Structure 1
Amino acid sequence: MSANPATTDRTQASLLLLDTHQVTALLQPEDVLRAVHEAFTLHSQRAGRVFPVVREALPTGGVFGIKSGDVSAQGLLGFKAAGFWPANRARGGEPHQATVLLIDPATGRPLCVLDGNAITTERTGAAGALGLQHLARAESTRLCLFGTGVQARVQLRFALQVLPALTQVRYLTHDGQPRPDFEAELRGCCDIAHATDANAAVAASDVVITATPGCGALFDAAAVQPGTHINAVGTDTRGKRELPEGLLERAHVFVDDAAQSRSIGEVQWAAPDLPCTELGDVLTGQAPVQRGAQDITVFDMTGLALQDLTVARMLRTQALAQGLGTAIAWPW
């Protein structure tokens, strides 16, 4: 007598694990750009949903969050549990920590667990690149970067890729000290130098990228010159900010998700009626950008759950095709 197929499937079910080394080996910038573009498109078309974000401070000094969503027509469901633990630096570890879980929407069973650190870094860099491609002036040559951490580096790497006219980078650090190792990584790619006067560096730049922990305004609003584009990366929690008061009111503001940006992004500091355009609507043509040479544009990046899910699905598909990862029995 043959076994019941449903029973056999349940007892032979497995869970795929992809650790940081396997995820990093599979991540390719062009693949990530395509997956993140798809996430923005799905969000714009409301084919994919993003659920309310959990973002809470912990007694340990860390911040814990959950971003989740689904694309029902594609059988895509999952979440990323992530946060920021600054004390990890003293342990020699990365403060940002993330884990992604893909779930079968038909049964609720877990399909794949992925280390989310590299996913978060690359998908955020790709989102920033899409913002630069569609919002910054193509002829931009000078960039001001706040931060030299993991996210600042990936934002700069993608910026140099998608804005080929960029030749000059000035960067600022929280302690006002240069980072020779950071400069060495970029030497040969651009004219890079440390700056200590934030307002002067911003005023002299076509593009500004802020990728810091978001502990306060980094420069004065008056320093931002007409024609500047800003990618604001670091504000992703209530109470955080990187941009100064009064700047958003002078700018055309773009966001990844309007409700999320008003809750945990830079837009939390603006008036409730501040006009915002979702980048996905720009990518799908629903909100064409008519950028004037003197316009100031801001992309407030809080991170979409759909970005994590489309990238994670891409990685799982590649891992299964290449026989990578660890499959463990997960019967039910």
Structure 2
Amino acid sequence: MPADATLLLLDKHAVEPLLQPDDVLAAVGAAFTLHSQREGRVFPVIRQALPGGGIFGIKAGDVPAQGLLGFKAAGFWPANRERGGEPHQATVMLIDPATGRPVCLIDGNAITTARTGAAGGIGLRQLARPDSTTLCVFGTGVQARVQVTFALRMLPRLRTIRYVSAHDTPDAGFVAQFAARCEVVHATDRNAAVADSDVVITATPGSGPLFDAAAVRPGTHINAVGADTRGKRELPDGLLPRATVVVDDREQSTTIGELQWAASLPCIEIGDLLTGNASFTRDADDITVFDMTGLALQDLTVGRMIHQRAIAGGAGTALAWPW
């Protein structure tokens, strides 16, 4: 058996420079396409509450024809804030499908942030009105910021960002990040902010409905990010029946996403829109929702891209990992 095998370790400092937006968009788009064509498999999600109040999960999958296999172990540890750390933690592992040997271990925090932002961007490109000028975002944290970043990239006519913060207090850091690109307004009336916006992004821990269904006016598009565990939700009762609902994965959406609260409603998978397996023509008054639960294939295609770029650029640390 070979004794010279190695395992490549890529920490955040190696990963972050390689996450260029166009590359991440391409990798995430490839994941959705592979899922639609049933060339990429998504295995059942493990998602469990921990005794200390955290959540731990594993998302795994493969693309047999491309020799891609792996998983992401991730979750949410709220007590990390008290330690000065990030509550979301993730690690991606790529595995050789021919042997089962680990190939690359990657810090998954930046990957998760970037691939979710890119997924939101693809949803906006497919579903939001191109002439959208106003956006309301719930949340001001890492995921809210990357969602807004991709929104500004995909919807160049955006002029006003209204943000709703966790404790209804202004967030100077959030404002500073986007003030040079558009008007940024702290919203204290949630329903009014939603009613005045063409696009709504919900990027919160998913503790409950964030606004009233009646506040959503015709023509609005919503990217729902925060519901990724059984019992979580961000959207109110009565909204989804009024909308065309698009999901990243039908089964995940009905078990851990927003459709767990309306499982009988029809939906379209975003990959099917990209491949032409399904079609949707937006009318000006349509309400659309993209429910983003996060696919293992997103982590794997982005992880593969990072792995390939790291090898080409000599990044990371190779450890002996003999058989």
* TM-score between both structures, scaled by the size of structure 2: 0.99
Which of 310, 313, 319 is equivalent to 1:328?
319
5+ residue gaps, structure 2: none
- Report the residue type matching 2:302 in the other structure: V
Which of 295, 301, 322 is equivalent to 1:304?
295
Q: CA offsets, 1:112-139, max 9 Å, x none?
A: 0000000000000000000000000000
Q: Residue 137 of structure 2 aligns to a residue in which SS?
A: strand
Which of 272, 276, 279 is equivalent to 2:267?
276
Q: CA offsets, 1:126-181, max 9 Å, x none?
A: 00000000000000000000000000000000000010011100000121100011
Q: Residue 7 of structure 2 aligns to a residue in which SS?
A: strand
Instruction: Show the counterpart of 1:201.
Output: 193
Q: CA deviation at 1:273?
A: 2.2
Q: CA deviation at 1:42?
A: 0.1
Instruction: Show the counterpart of 2:19.
Output: 27
- Report the residue type matching 1:158 in the other structure: F
Which of 284, 303, 315 is equivalent to 2:306?
315
- Report the residue type matching 2:16 in the other structure: T
Moved over 2 A (4+): none
Structure of higher CA gyration radius: 1
In the TM superposition, 1:53-132 aligns within 5 A as: 53-132=45-124
Counterpart CA distance in 1 for 2:177 and 2:127 is: 27
- Report the residue type matching 1:304 in the other structure: L
Q: Residue 68 of structure 1 aligns to a residue in which SS?
A: strand
Instruction: Show the counterpart of 1:140.
Output: 132
Counterpart CA distance in 2 for 1:322 and 1:158 is: 26
* TM-score between both structures, scaled by the size of structure 1: 0.97
- Report the residue type matching 2:168 in the other structure: G
Query: Is the aligned partner of 1:43 residue 2:35?
Result: yes
Q: CA offsets, 1:60-83, max 9 Å, x none?
A: 111000000000000000000000
Q: Residue 222 of structure 2 aligns to a residue in which SS?
A: strand
- Report the residue type matching 1:210 in the other structure: T
Instruction: Show the counterpart of 2:222.
Output: 230
- Report the residue type matching 2:120 in the other structure: G
Which of 282, 291, 300 is equivalent to 1:291?
282
Number of residue equivalences: 323
Counterpart CA distance in 1 for 2:177 and 2:102 is: 39
Instruction: Show the counterpart of 2:7.
Output: 15
Q: CA offsets, 1:86-133, max 9 Å, x none?
A: 111111111100000000000000000000000000000000000000
- Report the residue type matching 1:60 in the other structure: G
Counterpart CA distance in 2 for 1:185 and 1:298 is: 26
Instruction: Show the counterpart of 1:163.
Output: 155
Q: CA RMSD in A?
A: 0.5
5+ residue gaps, structure 1: 1-6
